[in-house]
Chains A and B, each alone.
Chain A
Amino acid sequence: DAGVIQSPRHEVTEMGQEVTLRCKPISGHDYLFWYRQTMMRGLELLIYFNNNVPIDDSGMPEDRFSAKMPNASFSTLKIQPSEPRDSAVYFCASTWANYGYTFGSGTRLTVV
């Protein structure tokens, strides 16, 4: 198994641009999570899905952030418009039955 796959690994964009982060979970996993990691706030849960349905998006910072999971093998996290304070490492994780979470390698986002 290739694990959780995220793309791109690095993204540099200008303030105001739309950014889309992508995640492919491990096949057979029924939960998918998006986390954001910063030095100040550590690892924060943004949103999670169960069987492709968003369950809890209370961690999404504001309306500029949106996430979708159109099928069991793909999810996106979109920021529109992006701001410098969105700069962070964004991780996707997946799990089966909410145990033994596996994380991807992350996307390092820099908004200038």
Chain B
Amino acid sequence: GESVGLHLPTLSVQEGDNSIINCAYSNSASDYFIWYKQESGKGPQFIIDIRSNMDKRQGQRVTVLLNKTVKHLSLQIAATQPGDSAVYFCAVLHGGKLIFGQGTELSVKP
């Protein structure tokens, strides 16, 4: 099977700083990874994904890094803004199922 864990349940950063949210997964056969953002009262919103044949992928202000050797995934948010405050989930596709971690709550201080 697959299990997904996040290193920190909460993260507080200053507006304008960079944020890094980490995630670990257990099964080396997992081949697709997604980061989601969930705001209060809403469903998870797709941020960025990466496949196992890549180490890094960049979007607008976000970067996902994948280290398959240690089975670690991270989401980097550049110049964090108040609107980035939310719970962030990593999700790992394994055996046709998307398995979610517990989430990191990001708070952005003005």
Distance in angstroms from A10 CB to nearest chain B CB is 10
Q: Is A28 an interface residue (CB 8 A)?
A: no
Q: Is B98 an interface residue (CB 8 A)?
A: yes
- Give the bracket for the number of chain B residues in contact with chain A: 20 to 34
Contacts of A111 in B (CB 8 A): none
Determine chain B's interface SS by DSSP, over half rule: strand
Q: Which A residues form the contact surface with B (CB < 8 A)?
A: 4, 33, 35, 42-43, 45, 48, 55-56, 91, 93, 98-106
A100 to B43, CA, bound (A): 14
Judge whether A100 and B46 touch: CB under 8 Å: yes
Distance in angstroms from B47 CB to nearest chain A CB is 11
Judge whether B99 and A45 touch: CB under 8 Å: yes
Complex interface residues of chain B between 22 and 38 (CB less than 8 A to chain A): 32, 34, 36
Which residue from A42, A101, A105 sits with its C-beta under 8 Å from B98? A101
**26 A-B pairs whose Cβ atoms sit less than 8 Å apart in the complex:** A4-B43, A33-B98, A42-B101, A42-B102, A43-B89, A48-B96, A48-B97, A56-B97, A91-B43, A91-B44, A93-B43, A93-B98, A98-B93, A98-B96, A99-B32, A100-B34, A100-B46, A100-B49, A101-B34, A101-B46, A101-B91, A101-B98, A103-B36, A103-B43, A103-B44, A106-B42
Distance in angstroms from A11 CB to nearest chain B CB is 15
- What residue of chain B has the Cβ atom nearest to residue A89's Cβ? B43
